[in-house]
Structure 1
Amino acid sequence: MSVVRIAASTPRIAEGERLWTPPPDAVGGAAVERFRHWVNARHGLDLCDYDALWRWSVDEVETFWAAVWAYFDVHATQPYERVLAARTMPGAVWFEGARVNYAEHLLRRESRHPDAPALLHASELRDGGELSWGELGRQVRTLATRLRELGIGPGDCVGAYMPNIPETAVAMLATTAIGATWAAASPEFGSRAVIERFAQIAPKLLFVVDGYRFDGVDFERGEQVAEIVAGLGGVEHVICLPYLVPQRAPQQPGAMAWADLLATAEPAQFEYEYVAHDHPLWVLFSSGTTGLPKAVIHSHVGILVEHCKLTAFHVGLTPESRPFYFSTSGWMMWNVLLASLLQGATPVLYDGCPIGPDPEVLWKLVERMRVTHFGTSPSFAQIMQKAGLRPCERYDLSALHMILLAGSPAMPETFAWFYEDVKPDLWVTSQSGGTEIASAFVGAVPSLPVYAGEIQTRLLGMDVDVWNEQGEPVVDQTGELVVRKPFPSMPLRFWNDAGNARYHDTYFQTWPGVWRHGDSTKINDRGGVYVYGRSDSTLNRYGVCIGTAEIYRSVERIDDVIDSIIVCCELAGGRFFMPMFVKLRAGLELDEAMRARIRGQLRADCSPRHVPDQLYRVDKIPYTLTGKKMEVPVRKLLSGWPLEKAASRDAMLDPTAIDWFVRFRADNHAMLTG
């Protein structure tokens, strides 16, 4: 294994510098390599490396996905008639005729290892524990049977206002086991945000909690639950888990207690509901920061083959793995975490604040739970880096194998921090995909090296390219991330989207038949990928497009700058205004010396075009609940949009963070409109 050691005093690491090379035994033992050899033998091919395997997977789309189906021994009560009806987007039909059940595959390991741990868990309210495969299966079958007795089945939607705890996993598995459609919102959401989401799908049953704890503070949710039930109107059953106050009776009139449903005996026989190729598995919701959240519908069959491929070939999970991805139950990473069960892995669930009240709580969890795959956001790593934390000196991280960065672009310095201050022989990866596909387009593969700031590769079966404005493929140039051929986990449709109009306009309006994802991206000549942020937040200055990620990378190298956000507002007469808002260390002021330092840093690292027109000090930077900076909502707000249309408070990590920008707009109305 080759590891580049990064000196702690190194001020800036070059983008694309090699940091890690997988050892030969890791390459040879990787599932993706075993699959390559299997494909070669089965199809008489000579695919010599990952790049050749990827090229085959996107050229021979139908053969590749049929191979995934066979390799993972997908169980269907009826075989599929064809893998793909036609290579069209939108409207691709996958594995038509097959009848499968996603939950059944997640619970496959139970019969072989009933006493082994299936889930590990901890939270601010609970010390932690484990749920065995046998107990997980028992609870799922018991709850699923009770749901059927309540009249829940195929065609019904079930909503959950629940945190990232084992009961939520049981509820999801029970719901999907009987063919009902799952949707979740974490209890951090306010009632309005939940109603905006769930009103689109009209759930017949709701799972709820009485409250939760975050950063040492207890939050009651009885009032919000009542508002949600009243706001939805058609909810027939409410099942309440007393999470904040154990043994508390349900506060919602007519609600049933979780414990009462699980107290009954496990059914003597249980049959999964095997559903058609186009049957809805779950609905995932987009962030909804600037409008009604998109209600994205995925299928059992599409998610099943995609998650088999993702968890085995790209995340490298095995039955010995213990993955932990910090997530709430309403983010697609929670669904991906539970997909670890497909490989017999033991996912670790955590409910609470990632940096408080104990700023090192997640590292303690990684040590205590013997986590092998740690998924977190680049912003979490930057907080650790700014605080000078060196987990390698404080914790036993011998089990830790992989770092999976998700949620926003990861800078080269973030990669380097993990190698210097966490562990020198880590596999550090970054991913990009999203809610719309419940997976990634580009991400990790265990047989390739790691380069600073670089996403390793395009994932198997994802025909990803980068196009310029003229629709021409470009290499080593920034352009639009596109997908040229269909893939199984693309949405069936959006809920209540007449004629698929919103679906079409979101992804296929620019280039008909080609998925335009909306990410500003670069692919280099070796296939490495850089994602610089959303295309709609790209800064256009003097005709030059600037990715915000490179600006943040530069300015946040200054120790006294904790966080920042930059936008570019179009003004009357074709003019523009590009302000930057910075959060400084406590007690510091944004004086002329600091302004000059920031401008000088940007000028030296980037170019004069990257220097903002004005700098302002703020106490908080607005983020979504999934950890994305709210650049587009801030730009819309400063451009004159009313707050209720520019941003949804209920979709924010800290709803008060937007208030400063509302006041700023009012105080600078003449400048922003004149």
Structure 2
Amino acid sequence: MNHSTPILQSPELHSTAQDGPAWVPSADTVASARVTEFMRWLSSERKLSFGDYDGLWRWSVDHIDAFWSALWDWSEIISVEPRGDTLVDAAMPGAKWFPGARMNYVEQVFRHADLTTPAIVFRNEAGEQRELGWAETKRQVAALAASLRRLGVKRGDRVAAFMPNTPDTIVAFLAVVSVGAIWSTCAPDMGQLAVLDRFRQIEPKVMIAVDGYRYGGKSYDRRELLHALLGELPSVEHVVLVPNLDPLASAAVFEHGIDWADAIDGHAPFEIDEVPFDHPLWIVYSSGTTGLPKPIVHSHGGIVLEHVKLTTLHLNLRPGDRFHWNASTGWIMWNLQVGGLLAGATACLYDGNPGYPDMNALWRFVGEARINFFGAGAAYFQSCLKAGVEPRKVADLSHLCAVGSTGSPLAPESYRWILDHVGDVWINALSGGTDFAGCFVAGVPTLPVYLGEMQCRCLGARVEAFDDAGNALIDEVGELVCTAPMPSMPLYFWNDAGHQRYRDSYFDTYPGIWRHGDWVRITPRGGAVIYGRSDATINRYGIRMGTSELYRAVEDLPEVLDSMVVDLEYLGRESYMPLFVVLRPGAELSAELTATIRDRIKAALSARHVPNEVLQVPAIPRTLSGKKMELPIKKLLLGHPIETVANPDTMANPDSLTWFTEFAPGCVQRLGDHHKPASGL
């Protein structure tokens, strides 16, 4: 694969450097920020002083052992044994952290058990509501942990969950990891093959599952599918059934079934298995498009440290804050939502379609639940903008202080929409990944916000933009790399003999350095702009560019709801680059609109990046986390069989593949026909 650094052609890519900030924190906001608290602590306890965030960041990546040690002490992480040295081997992969520590994720959560605020607030799209206090959450976790022990679950066993975004799922997760077992989950809307592709690899001992789920006003009974799954998972010895649709759903229909109500009944002692720092916590899965999903194993200690850092220093959460990130259990942002408990924040959960019965549904929840920090995928905010949603007119957002975004780059117009229609809130755009269950770039409330730009590189994350030769770039686009280890980087992939697949996934391009697979530009002020995946870039006549800028130009048009571009090269022919657009109902892809789209792209990027064709499609294929499936569609159009490039069960809209599958056979011919630049160069 060619990993050449893209050459930027559009002055708009650098426009934020001349623009003023869209949001500036008040003096009170800066003074009360958690990151300011941390800096004051460093001054008093470590005799370290920093004039600004950039100075703090540079210390955190130049002295990574000192930073993570300080974070441990400031956060008062619990270990039943002296933690010893911080970092005894800084190799990537294979770094060894805190070898003396013995701890458990759950112990860090229930440091906050005396809080009088709720631990969990829940609502679903049908309007059902629940609230769990810290004491009741702890009771249920202890009871379920005791039940799991009676079923023979012990340290190192895998427990699989087929669960939606409900309080029961959080209780199940905490109970599983409290006994030293390893958690792994799939959302109940995933298909049979997608679930089996994941759970077969890890051979779970127990399955915790719902009877069904709701989405978009419809109910989906999954008991028949659950029977089929269990028939293909011989390692499962018991199934715990959670009634989600039918209150009378009984586990008796399953061999060795246990009802949820019985499993969480009673007042068992709260017992924690303190495990080594690098004991597996969970197994999560990459959204790979070929082969089996990568089963990524993270550690108790690494996730505790990374999520404490993110939730406190970068999300600015404190005990009692109400935190909601709209996510399904199949997306790593669900894990970060649960991570808010590590900071003592209330986990505010919403299960269902955020746009049902209308686009104001989630905003009403934000207002009525008095949420302080609300996060969602960038596509959600763009959809609100396109739909003309005005949240302040339908909800009391006076408690809302911050809005977070991830999943894909947040367009500058979405920043402006949030400020105009949500309120004068801190916008915290994040970029990271399932791979290390964390963020490389994010925000802090002490810095200004610039449209289209993430505020900073995260503490402890030595992130750079690299050219082909491994040189760090400033204000130029390069490969996003991390040149020093982080505690939450994977321990390994499950069943990956010799760790070869792990090495090939992140360290094949720059040995000993993590290559994340994104194009990034580090701005002179220390912020970052993500331009999309580095393996799905546009390469037109020797000039490379990420796709996000093209989408910004195209999707700014009121007629265009969504878009996707792929750049196809085949057997040495000139590339063929089609642009696929989804139009607003009633709009037509006329010659005039096509010309307008081409002119917008020419003005925003360059004449070289004008597509050969503009084609109307019913929908753009997206993953469950909302990302456009550029690379799978690129492979499909180059002649790869559909079954090798995309798994419909891991998609948000699998029906969208039909159009592209029918279109694909003619693409090789089109590669020959479109040998001239569409712009007439």
Conserved in 1, the CA contact under 8 Å of 2:302 and 2:488? yes
**Corresponding position of 1:342:** 342
Deviations 1:122-153 (A, max 9, x none): 11245212101110000000000100010001
Q: Which amino acid aligns with 1:271?
A: E
Q: TM-score, normalised by structure 1?
A: 0.96
- Are 2:212 and 1:211 aligned? yes
Instruction: Check the 8 A contact 1:638/1:672 in 2, yes or no.
Output: no
Work out whether residues 402 and 429 of structure 1, in 8 Å CA contact, stay in contact via their aligned partners in 2.
yes
Cα offsets for 1:528-577 (capped at 9, x unmatched):
10011110111111111111100000000110011011101112234211
Taking a change above 3 Å as real, the CA distance of residues 199 and 673 of structure 1, as seen in their structure-2 partners, is farther
Letter of the 1:282 partner, please give it. Answer: W
Kept after mapping to 2: 8 A contact 1:289/1:651: no
Q: Which residue of 2 aligns with 1:4?
A: none
d(CA) in 2 for partners of 1:125, 1:256: 27
Which residue in 2 is equivalent to 1:256? 258
Cα distance between partner residues in 1 of 2:220 and 2:455 = 40
Q: Secondary structure at the match of 2:670?
A: helix
- Return the letter of the residue paired with 1:529: A
Which residue matches 1:123?
124
- Residue of structure 1 equivalent to 2:679: none
Alpha-carbon distance in structure 1 between the residues aligned to 2:663 and 2:109: 50
For 1:291 and 1:614, how far apart are their aligned partners in 2?
A: 32
1:389 paired to 2:392: no
Q: What is the CA–CA distance in structure 1 between the aligned matches of 2:127 and 2:105, rounded to whole Å?
A: 29
The equivalences for 1:31-42 within 5 A come to: 31-42=34-45
Residue aligned with 1:107, SS? helix
Query: Are 2:223 and 1:222 equivalent residues in the alignment?
Result: yes
Give the secondary structure class of the aligned counterpart of 2:516: strand
Distance 1:360 1:650 in 2: 28
CA contact (8 A) 1:13 1:452 kept: no
Match of 2:46 among 43, 61, 67: 43
Distance in 1 of aligned mates of 2:307 and 2:206: 27
Contact 1:639 1:672 in 2 (8 A): no
Q: Residue 168 of structure 2 aligns with which residue?
A: 167
How far apart, CA to CA, are the structure 1 residues paired with 2:456 and 2:584? 37
Matched, 1:658 2:649: no
Q: Aligned residue for 1:22?
A: 25
**567-576 vs 210-219, greater mean Cα deviation:** 567-576
Deviations 1:364-412 (A, max 9, x none): 1011101111101111111111111111233211001101001001111
| Offset of residue 342 of structure 1 | 1.4
Work out the number of aligned pairs and report it: 659
Q: What code does the residue aligned with 1:353 have?
A: N
Distance 1:191 1:220 in 2: 14
In the alignment, what sits opposite 1:5? none
Give the Cα–Cα distance (whole angstroms) in 2 for the partners of residues 78 and 12 of structure 1: 51
Distance 2:596 2:229 in 1: 49
Amino acid at match of 2:526: G
Matched residue SS, 2:102:
coil
Equivalent-residue separation in structure 2 for 1:550 and 1:560 (angstroms): 18
Structure 2: distance between partners of 1:403 and 1:592: 39
Gaps of 5+ in 2: 1-11, 674-681
Structure-1 separation of matches of 2:13 and 2:90: 45
Deviation at residue 254 of structure 1 after TM alignment: 3.2
Number of the residue aligned with 2:275: 275
1:432-490 Cα shifts (integer Å, max 9, x gaps) = 11111111011011110000010000111111111111111111000011111111111
Q: Which residue number in structure 1 is paired with residue 101 of structure 2?
A: 98
- Equivalent residue letter for 1:334: W
Indicate the residue corresponding to 1:368 in structure 2: 368
Which one-letter code corresponds to 1:285 in the other structure? Y
Which residue number in structure 1 is paired with residue 417 of structure 2?
Answer: 417
TM-score (norm 2): 0.95
Tell me the amino acid that sits aligned with residue 664 of structure 1. Answer: F
Write the distance in 1 (CA, Å) between the matches of 2:263 and 2:394.
Answer: 43
**Residue type of the partner of 2:101?**
A
1:576 paired residue number = 575
Contact 1:625/1:653 (8 A) holds in 2:
yes
**Could you tell me how far 1:44 is from its partner in structure 2?**
2.2
CA contact (8 A) 1:579 1:613 kept: yes
Deviations 1:56-77 (A, max 9, x none): 1111111111111111111111
Q: 2:209·2:241 contact (CA, 8 Å) conserved in 1? A: yes
- Could you say which residue in structure 1 is the equivalent of 2:524? 525
Q: How does 1:75-114 map to 2 (within 5 A)?
A: 75-110=78-113, 112-113=114-115
Among residues 50, 65, 69, which one is paired with 1:66 in the alignment?
Answer: 69
- Is residue 363–residue 394 contact of structure 2 (8 Å, CA) maintained in 1? no
Q: Counterparts of 1:409 and 1:438 in 2: how far apart (Å)?
A: 18
Preserved contact between residue 14 and residue 452 of structure 1 (Cα < 8 Å): no
How far residue 346 of structure 1 moved from its aligned partner, in angstroms, is: 0.6
Structure 2 partner of 1:498: 497
Cα separation, 2, equivalents of 1:314 and 1:226: 43
**Which range is displaced more, 123-132 or 518-527?**
123-132
Matches of 1:243 and 1:12, distance apart in 2: 47
Is contact 1:568–1:577 with CA below 8 Å preserved after alignment?
yes
Check the 8 A contact 1:291/1:648 in 2, yes or no: no
Give the residue type in structure 2 aligned to 1:258. Answer: W
Residue 277 of structure 1 and its aligned partner are, at CA, apart by 2.0
Following superposition, the deviation at residue 84 of structure 1 comes to 0.6
Per-residue deviation, 1:20: 0.6
**Whole-angstrom CA distance in 2 between matches of 1:35 and 1:398:** 27
Report the alpha carbon displacement of residue 203 of structure 1 after superposing the two structures with TM: 0.6
Aligned-partner SS, 1:19: coil
> Does structure 1 conserve the Cα–Cα contact (< 8 Å) formed by 2:507 and 2:513?
yes
1:142-541 equivalent positions in 2, closer than 5 A: 142-250=143-251, 251-263=253-265, 265-267=266-268, 269-423=269-423, 425-541=424-540
**Distance between the aligned counterparts of 2:305 and 2:668, measured in 1?**
52
- Residues 609-657 of structure 1: CA distance to partner in whole angstroms, max 9, x if unpaired? 2211111111111100011000000001001111111111111001111
- Taking the aligned partners of 1:288 and 1:249, their CA distance within structure 2 comes to 36
Distance 2:317 2:179 in 1: 27
Supply the distance in 1 between the matched residues of 2:335 and 2:665 (Cα, whole angstroms).
41
- Could you tell me whether the CA contact under 8 Å between 1:98 and 1:277 is conserved in 2? yes
Aligned partners of 1:307 and 1:339 also within 8 Å: yes
What percentage of residue pairs aligned between the two structures are identical?
44
Work out the CA distance in 1 between the residues paired with 2:69 and 2:178. Answer: 24
Q: What letter matches 2:343 in structure 1?
A: Q
Q: Quick check: 2:125–2:356 contact (8 Å CA) kept in 1?
A: no
Find the aligned partners of 2:40 and 2:669 in 1 and give their Cα distance. Answer: 66
Give the deviation of 1:669 after TM superposition. Answer: 5.3
Offset of residue 89 of structure 1: 0.4
The CA distance in 2 between the partners of 1:364 and 1:126, in whole Å, is 11
Query: 1:289–1:652: 8 Å Cα contact kept in structure 2?
Result: no
Q: Is the 8 A contact 1:26 1:446 kept in 2?
A: yes
Match of 2:677 in 1: none
In 2: Cα distance, 1:301 partner to 1:586 partner: 50
Against the structure 1 CA distance between its residues 459 and 185, is the aligned structure 2 distance closer, same or farther, given a 3 Å change threshold? same
Corresponding residue SS for 2:172: helix
Secondary structure of residue in 1 paired with 2:86? strand
Structure 1's 242 and 672: CA in aligned 2 closer, same or farther, altered over 3 A?
Answer: farther
Q: How does 1:604-623 map to 2 (within 5 A)?
A: 604-623=603-622
Stretch deviating more after TM superposition (522-531 or 241-250)? 241-250
The answer to whether the aligner puts 1:561 opposite 2:560 as a matched pair is: yes
CA distance in 2, matches of 1:442, 1:399: 26
Give the drift of 1:586: 1.2
The question of whether the paired residues in 2 share the 8 Å contact of 1:476 and 1:523 is answered with yes
Per-residue deviation at 1:271? 2.0
User: Aligned AA for 2:152?
Assistant: G
User: In the TM superposition, what is the alpha-carbon distance from 1:667 to its structure 2 partner?
Assistant: 4.7
Distance 1:277 1:222 in 2: 37
